[in-house]
Chains A and B, each alone.
Chain A
Amino acid sequence: MTYIAKPKVHHPSLKKNEIGLTRRDYEGAITTLCAGCGHDSITAAIIQAFWEMSIPPHKVAKMSGIGCSSKTPAYFLREAHGFNSVHGRMPAVATGANAANGDLIMIGVSGDGDSLSIGLGQLCHAIRRNVNMLYMLENNGVYGLTKGQFSASADPGSTAKKGEANTMQAIDSALLALTLGATFVARSFSGDKAQLVPIIQAGLAHRGFAFIDIISPCVTFNDHEGSTKSYAHTREHKVEVVQADFVPPADEITADYQAGTVKNVMLHDGSWVKFRKVADDYDPTNRDNAYAHIRDHQRKGEVVTGLLYLSGDSKDVHDQNDTVPGPLYNLPHDQLCPGNDALQKLQQQFR
């Protein structure tokens, strides 16, 4: 929403972060989603993640497409610029904004309709490009705003609210991201804030496209017995493969786990992701292994969660393009315009 200079009446004892802001400073407008919507829990996790990382809200660009999930950027970080673009096309807008100003901290929020049907192509190409952004897919397997149609992530055999069974295969966005070479792939559950917050933080610190698929139940259209994206089903079937802790650059890495069970991966800004293995055979830095692991569990009807894959070698669009450091948008004109002398000289070749 537009900035309104309303008085911030904070309780004096509210805890402040390193830049003196309270958690409330990272909130946005009051949600208009249904009570109990998984997306609101994700919003809360986003707020906590940003607050804990002491990110100045106005340095953030909140991008989204169309749909319930795409409304959520209005509900966090009111001092950040938001962009509710057109259906499925947020990745392109984010790519352009990132090209103009690579210093913006970019978070994209999308849904399974937005990302896996109308916007599937754009999602794929944003992954391919490794655009430096955190991309959160709030996945409920259903079209909420148009009242209950199956989305492309609805599992075969799962049913709609009125009982109709889905006959088509689901697009698994985490497998898709792994296949396309994503440098950061995670899956989580809106009801598991403890898991989600450090993943969001690691995704923000990652230089490149950080993809998080989050099962986020739709309480109105897809939270019933036949759904595989309901609260009950997800709680029963989710399997955490690693526990990922985000360690900011300034914090010391402490060896509070036994050697051999912890893997530390450093991110470009000097922060760390500390992986503690839950599944013995899981290596979050091995793409093939991650893929096979997700598929194996999928066959058992289980949903693998956690930071599933992290590449230690990630080159984003600016790295690939070899762009000058800092934003392009405010380079002085005299550095951009070659001037009339150069033009006259150049025109010798047109004679």
Chain B
Amino acid sequence: MTSRVNDFAFKIATANGTGSASANGLIMQAIFRMGVPVTGKNVFPSNIQGLPTWYEIRVNKHGYTARTPHFDLMLALNAATYAKDVAEVRSGGYLMFDSSWPLDEKLKRPDVTYLGVPLAEMCNATFKGVRERILMKNIAYAGVLAALIGMDTEVIAALTKEKYAAKKALLDSNEKAIALGYDYARANFPCPLPIHLEKMDATTDSILIDGNTAAALGAVYAGATVGAWYPITPATSVMEAFKGFCMKYRRDPDTKKKKFAILQAEDELAALGMVIGASWAGARAFTPTSGPGISLMNEFIGLAYYAEIPAVIVDVQRTGPSTGMPTRTQQGDLMLCAHASHGDTRHICLYPADPREAFEMAAKAFDLAERFQTPVFLVSDLDIGMNDWMVPKLAWDDSYRPDRGKVLSADDLEKARSFYRYLDVDGDGIPQRSLPGVHPKGAYFTRGSGHNKYGAYTEDGDEYQEVLDRIARKVQGATKAVPPPVMKPTPGATMGLVTVGGCHAACVEAMDLLAAEGIKVNYMRVRGFPFGDEVRQFLEQHEVNFIVEQNRDAQLRSLLMLETGVHVEKLESVRYYAGFPMSAHHVISGVKAKLEKAA
């Protein structure tokens, strides 16, 4: 293999529950601290222990962060998946295995270099307890890898010291295990391999973070005080992180009492009901969930839409339908979130592409929910939510004040001649609201049944229709408030490439690779729903637009057609929905296939 510095990918195959996460985290962080752009993706089963799990690390000096299915080096440490893992190595690549056990010669490939390391033997000889031997085997492979790809030993030593500063025994074991692997590799293989690292300074202003942690931070910074939820993969860590941050930042310094409430509901129905109750009473409240949770929440989503109650729903999408593959990623809820519940509904959706946007949009979701008095969906996915992304450092504007929307204070109500909950007083479709307990004049009856603009029950068709039309106008008004699409023009391009959310990374890389072959596209990534007019204009200006997304039924394309009225012939669908994050390869092959068909 020719030398490839800071541009390669490797994959670590282990079994779930063996403690490989901390070794993988150490590897990621060490590369990052060497200033080299890096991304890590978990490929894990819906299971606690024993089933195969993988961790994929991509090192790329250009900063490409999409998944790549081409692995230069495989750490094949799980016998159960060995055959599959061998097959995934790029021709000319390397495979590291535990030589404590004999290798199945039938599985040897002539185009792959095999690197046997007696990890189990070494760890059994060095460590005493069974658990420690298993755990340290992981740290030892990190040591082997460090030597193979030329990781900075000082960086690793510093990281280990930081992590186990308070646990001397663990620090000793870790240092010993790293040295075991490192020394063995240096003594037995030509280290570093042609695929290796060299220090850069491309990560100084970045952090490594997953989208769920970032979204939780957004909720904290926006001032959410009530979180209600029902555990579900892959959204669970949103609330766990929110709780962690609240415990750190939201307790009274003297009494330690909590300035937040987290309610673990009995199901997703109740979770959203709690959010609606809390929002109705004036708190910023949210619930994290995934597709199956949204399915259950539908009746309450309709209530919040029609009764005009703010609610923030963080949907970390996984594959569907039904239980689907709970630990795989997809963009299968785009339609569901846009039009959840029965009757005519249309919901504000925000589509982050990475953890930084998950942070910013999570915070924004609360402003939009309160300003427009309606449910707002932060439509993330498992790839964004649970994987480790390198993103620019998060920043917060301290001059930010929450947009509470048209909430009347006791003073406002005292001065008002009258208050009617659903009157369009300002002509923007957004009515005024009052909070319970504030003032006698603010009283009204919230209901999901037919009501007129004064808030009174009605079965009069015209009155009902008037309210429904105003709500439609109100939500349409959000087109100017949701984040505008990201657009990137390419000189001379006549075709469009359109995508949403986590496909962004793959599209960015694909565009460069396509351009190198003379295929130029203008780029648009939508970031908010309902779509603004600029989205329609972009689609109109190209004869053909490739709509890149991760679901079977081209949901983004359907939404674009429905909302913009752009003719179907202008919208070519490029889809990948096998449950793994999209790669540039998927985009390129999809675009080329469409072009060849047209030619």
Contact = CB atoms under 8 A, between A and B. Distances in A.
Given A81-B444, A328-B261, A101 B437 contact: yes
A310 interface: no
Contact of B281 (A73, A104, A342): A104
Interface residues of B, number: 83
Specify which of A58, A318, A322, A325 lies most central, judged by the most chain B CB atoms within 10 Å of its CB. Answer: A58
Nearest to A71: B457
A306 B437 CA distance: 31
A288 B363 CA distance: 49
Given A328-B226, A333-B402, A343-B395, A58 B438 contact: yes
A63 B446 CA distance: 9
A323 B283 CA distance: 14
Given A58-B439, A81-B442, A98-B277, A92 B282 contact: no
A351 B32 CA distance: 8
Interface string B297-325: 00110010000000000000000000000
Contacts of B454: 2
A274 interface: no
A284 interface: no
B444 A92 contact: no
Nearest to A318: B261
A2 B456 contact: yes
A3 B418 contact: yes
B207 A99 contact: no
- Residue of B245, B255, B417, B446 with highest tally of chain A CB at under 10 A: B446
Most A Cβ at <10 Å: residue of B262, B278, B435, B456? B278
B141 interface: no
A61 B437 contact: yes
A96 B257 contact: no
B283 A337 contact: no
Interface stretch (A83-91, A177-185, A236-244): A83-91
A89 B304 CA distance: 13
Interface string A183-223: 00000000000000000000000000000000000000000
A59 interface: yes
A267 B347 CA distance: 45
Given A321-B258, A337-B223, A57 B396 contact: no
B33 interface: yes
B336 interface: no
Interface in A53-80: 56-61, 63, 73-74, 78-80
B447 interface: yes
Interface residues of A, number: 68
A213 B222 CA distance: 41
Interface of B: 29, 32-33, 207-209, 217, 220-223, 225-226, 228, 245, 249-250, 252, 255-263, 265-267, 269-283, 285, 299-300, 303, 393-398, 400-402, 417-421, 434-449, 454-457
Interface of A: 1-5, 56-61, 63, 73-74, 78-86, 89, 91-101, 103-104, 121-122, 124-125, 129, 317-318, 321-325, 327-331, 333, 335-340, 342-344, 346-347, 350-351
Given A92-B276, A95-B274, A324-B259, 19 more contacts: A2-B444, A3-B443, A81-B444, A81-B446, A82-B444, A85-B276, A92-B271, A92-B273, A96-B277, A99-B263, A121-B270, A317-B263, A323-B260, A331-B225, A337-B400, A339-B398, A343-B221, A343-B396, A347-B394
18 contacts: A5-B418, A91-B270, A92-B272, A93-B276, A96-B280, A97-B280, A99-B263, A100-B261, A100-B285, A103-B437, A104-B281, A327-B282, A329-B281, A329-B435, A331-B259, A343-B221, A350-B209, A351-B32
